[in-house]
Amino acid sequence: MIRPRAALLVLLVAVAAGALTLTAGPIPLPVGGRVRAAPASARDSCTNCHDGLGGRLAVPAENIPYDAHTRSELRCAGCHGGDPTRVGMDAHDPAAGFRGKPRYEQIPQFCGRCHGDPAFMRRFNPSLPTDQLARYLTSQHGQRLAKGDLRVAVCISCHGVHPVRPVNEGTSPVFSTNVPATCARCHSDTARMKPYGIPTTQFAEYRESVHGQGLLRRGNRQAPACNDCHGNHGAAPPGVASVANVCAQCHSATRDLFVRSPHKRAFDTLGMAECTVCHGTHNIAFPTDVMLGQEKGSACLQCHPAGTAGLNAAVGMRGSLEEVKGAITQAEGVLKRASSAGMDVTDARLDLDEATSQLIRARAVTHTANPPEVQKVTAVGITAAGRARAAGEAALAELVFRRRGLGVSVAVIAFVAVLLWLKLRELKRTSG
């Protein structure tokens, strides 16, 4: 039984704490899961009382079955302290370690008590890192929080609370496909971002980018979300010097080519952020060959006016790409014709695949900004496409041979049939 006076006291304390939270950090929390009563195994005096309180105070008790901590047999008291074996407000005994609801600015330390303790975490999930708090303190969020800015994100702003869902569950706000929307809850909020003077278009741009399309439309979890470039607990914008390294986490081969290019030294001298100069940041579009050369949409034209050596080099590299593309298109046409006529061109398709691989490689090699090097790769591709085309043409020649052979065979067969028919007629005539 809950004593009415104790319940009233809990209610007052909770309302006061809630009011403090509302004024301190009004970051909208991720929505929890379905609400249902906690199973018997997860119930104790905390859930028994809080269920009865209803409204906001009941939410933690209702959601505890979905909380990652509950799965590790940690319940309310695991974070909030107190004695769940005692009933009513007796359970909130400070002597039993009750620490109640932390203030907003206390949350990182509150979570870090356990998540920063390797010995403690090993008991539950040895693979989980324990440097989150340390990283958070170096992040923009952590540094601003330390200066008393209560509008920045803390642990629960991204991970949610009551329940804190496991990161690898699709319903978690920090599951890879949910990360962009989770960040956007604050970073797309113009009012919230105004004091910081940072743009709020990142999510809209990212959503349409090659990375956003991959992650959000096609569900390809290998495509990067915000945290893959900015870091998660140590979230900060990558500086000019580190952009290439950030991109190289995935595009390492391209980075290795780029560092050999004259662009590397020029960008370093000019303080330009390497990859982003041509590809953009959040709005990175699917790269096309148009980016190279002198057409509208060329990235080269940003710095190299017409007639300069730089643009000539770009045009040369584009020409090499077009040459191999042309060879591939021609070979594809021949193979398609042969294949639709029922000819087996499997081996020729392997050559065509080789040509396509070389085209892809050549596109990467354009990051060296070295036309002869690009041409060396495209030459291999052109040769492979030539082999494919020759095999396709041989198949088509064989097709012609077959059809001619068929014509001759049918003529012979028809001749035999006529002879047989004449013989039959003769037999009929002689037999009367």
Site for another protein, rule CB under 8 A: 342, 344, 346-347, 402-403, 405-406, 409-410, 413-414, 416-417, 420-421, 423-424, 427-428, 431
The CA distance from 378 to 365, in Å, is 10
Minimum distance from residue 431 beta carbon to another protein (Å): 8
Q: How far apart are CA 294 and CA 124, in angstroms?
A: 58
Task: Between 11 and 396, name the residue whose CB sits nearer to another protein.
Answer: 396
> What is the spatial distance between Cα 420 and Cα 279, in angstroms, rounded to a whole number?
77
- The amino acid present at 318, given as its one-letter code, is R
**How far apart are the C-alpha atoms of 133 and 116, rounded to whole Å?**
6
Q: Give the nearer residue to another protein in terms of CB position, either 4 or 432.
A: 432
Q: Which is nearer to another protein, 322 or 426 (CB)?
A: 426
DSSP annotation string for 140-203? HHHHHHHTT-TTS--HHHHH-SSS---TTSTTSTTSTTTHHHHHHHHHT-HHHHGGGT--S-HH
For another protein, which is the closer residue by CB, 120 or 415?
A: 415
What are the φ and ψ backbone dihedral angles of 248, each rounded to 5 degrees?
-70, -10
Report which of 4, 163, 172 is spatially closest to residue 76, judged by C-alpha positions.
163
CA dist 382 → 41, 149, 264, 376 (Å)? 68, 60, 29, 10
Instruction: Kindly tell me the number of DSSP H helices and DSSP E strands found in the chain.
Output: 22, 0
Task: From 68, 86, 82, 73, select the one nearest 128 (Cα to Cα).
Answer: 68
Residue 205 CA to residue 63 CA, distance in Å, equals: 35
- Nearer residue to another protein within complex by CB, 302 or 346: 346
Query: What span, in angstroms and rounded, lies between the C-alpha atoms of 363 and 380?
Result: 13
Query: Shortest approach of another protein to residue 343 CB, angstroms?
Result: 8
Closer CB to another protein, 152 or 343, in the complex: 343
Distance CA 330, CA 338 (A): 13
Least CB distance from residue 425 to another protein, whole Å?
10
How near is the Cβ of 351 to another protein at its closest, in Å?
Answer: 14
Cβ closest to another protein, residue 15 vs residue 412 = 412
